[in-house]
Structure 1
Amino acid sequence: MTAVRFRGWLCLLLVCCLPTQLLAQPQPQPLHLYTEEYPPINFSLNGQPTGLATEMVRAIMRRTGQNAPISLVPWARGYQLALTRPNTGLFVTMRTPERERLFKWVGPLTRNVTSFYALRSSGLSIDRLEQAREADEIAVPRDWYSHQRLLAEGFSNLTPVTGPSQVVSMLKRGRVKLMVLDNLSLSALLVQGDIRAEEVQLLFTLMYSDSYIAFSAQTDAALIRLWQRELDGMKADGSFAAIYRKWLPHEPLPDRVEP
């Protein structure tokens, strides 16, 4: 028997001698992270993910010794992956009653105020949901928390689009007269959409919400505890505040994160 054949036979013998339970044991799935174009919280720069939440997530991974890829995808796709794939995280995700049992949560990262907006030149005067429900088409990002909330409120005049930048584009082109977005992303999105801030009018506020990293329900609970502990540590040692002020220098820190 040649040396090569002997080594092959020996490897086969060792595998056959392993306990059946060990051979059948599934290998843990690697961690996958997804985000979307939502400046300045998370977005792409020169093809790479960046932004406030992206820096937070990378800092947590450094502290935990992990190194998972971060993929930028349309929100609806990332949301579906986080719903169905084990060890999958999606950020940032607004934590709402409708989503509470669908995910495991690490956060909060930001506090957002979501409102109805229109161009001042439209002359619209809407200050409550009942009026908005009877208005012309309203642009919202597909499967966002705001889209889900308005559907639950009985809105049938929604125009869901791929992401927040498309919402602004539709408003600028006159495709819609109303849009629903949040305060933290509005300024960056208006710059991208070539709309001056003074051209846009806040009509009324829809909701307040906190953003989190949402992990699929099948994700190991130990990973959730580890990430939450490290995020809490960042809030205690001031590193959270440093990242937040870098990206949102004119916004107050969320409650209970001051070092």
Structure 2
Amino acid sequence: MPSAEGIGLRSLLHYWLSALLLGLSLPLSLSAEPLRLYSQEYPPVNFSVAGEPAGMAVEVVRELARRSAQPIHLEVVPWARAYREAQTRPNSGVFVAMRTAERESLFQWVGPITVNTTGFYALTDAAPRIDSLDDARHHGEIAIPRDWYSHQLLRAAGFGNLHPVPGPDMVVQMLKHRRVKLMVMDNLGLSAYLARGGLRDDEVKLLFSFLRSYSYIAFSPETDPALVARWQEELDGMKRDGSFAAIHHKWLPGAQMPGLRALP
């Protein structure tokens, strides 16, 4: 039979071990708070189907959350709201967001997720010749999604003939109904937006590409940097083990796939 002293010692050790385990569990419980991640209607990269988020980047984000054991709350909202929330709300982010010099200090970045090429497009039967940014300044108003990276860049470049609208769907409609001669769009979302607007791919012509960029998951400055670093490590792991390539090819067949940690 064990002595009273032995029982007392074991009880004391059990108490201290329990306290230690409880203390270790506290930081973990903080990370259990769901990350709020916002995206927009940008098919096939991220969009909604019957109110549920879907798309290439959504699959990547869900796999990153699974690998890092991080609960998340996904929401598809207008771009302006997504961009605002991801700058001001702790434990939040927006995807996909183009990483540019102007945005660099506004977020913490995980990526890259896609490679995008942006250019000026026109209706094929009324396409002017555009060989430079300066040419584009002299062809009337240009429809462009408001506050997209392309809008910010061209505005900073002194373009005075931009016609910003709430989103790409309206951009396509303005071109379709000939309210503008030019629109700005990137290659990944082009076909989906044309189809939604009732245009075929061959009815629109690329005139001049002016921007090549990389998209990322952009986390708010108040999000735990350790969490952001973990997500970057897991994304790199997905690229090394082939799971990222499988998702990318499923949604963006033939599109260029980004490598590891490309810079803007």
- TM-score normalised by length of structure 1: 0.86
Partner of 2:48: 44
2:125 to 121, 125, 133: 121
Distance of 2:127 and 2:253 partners within structure 1: 32
- Following the alignment from structure 1 to structure 2, what is the Cα–Cα distance between the partners of residues 27 and 181? 38
- Within the candidate set 86, 89, 93, 1:85 is matched to 89
Correspondence for 2:174: 170
Shift of 1:85: 1.3
Identity of counterpart residues, as a percentage? 59
SS at match of 2:102: coil
> Are residue 72 (structure 1) and residue 76 (structure 2) matched?
yes
Q: Give, in whole Å, the separation in 1 of the partners of 2:260 and 2:114.
A: 11
In the TM superposition, residue 132 of structure 1 has moved relative to its aligned partner by 1.1
Task: Give the equivalent residue in structure 1 for 2:218.
Answer: 214
Extract unaligned runs of 5+ from structure 2. 1-29
Aligned residue type for 2:115: R
Q: CA deviation at 1:32?
A: 0.8
**1:134 alignment partner AA:** H
Per the TM alignment, residue 236 of structure 1 is displaced from its structure 2 partner at its CA by 0.8
Q: Take 1:135 and 1:98, find their aligned partners in 2: how far apart are those partners?
A: 27
1:29 and 1:86 in contact (8 A); partners too:
no
CA shift, 1:252, in A, is: 3.1
Question: In 1, distance between residues paired with 2:118 and 2:144?
Answer: 11
1:253 Cα offset (Å): 2.2
Equivalent residue number for residue 135 of structure 1:
139
Equivalent residue number for residue 8 of structure 1: none
Aligned to 1:254, the other structure's residue is in SS state coil
- How far the C-alpha of 1:107 sits from its partner, in A, is 0.2
Q: For 1:60 and 1:77, how far apart are their aligned partners in 2?
A: 23
Which residue of structure 2 lines up, in the alignment, with residue 188 of structure 1? 192
Q: Are 2:35 and 1:31 equivalent residues in the alignment?
A: yes
- Which of 202, 205, 230 is the matching residue for 1:201? 205
Any gaps of 5 or more consecutive residues in structure 1? 1-25
Contact map agreement 2:33 2:71 (CA 8 A) in 1: no
CA positional deviation for 1:27: 11
RMSD: 1.7
Q: Distance in 2 between matches of 1:255 and 1:115?
A: 23
Change (3 A) 1:234 1:136: same
- TM-score in terms of structure 2 length: 0.84
Mapped partners of 2:208, 2:259: distance in 1 = 23
| Structure 1 residue 213: Cα displacement | 0.2
Give 1:45 deviation, angstroms: 1.0
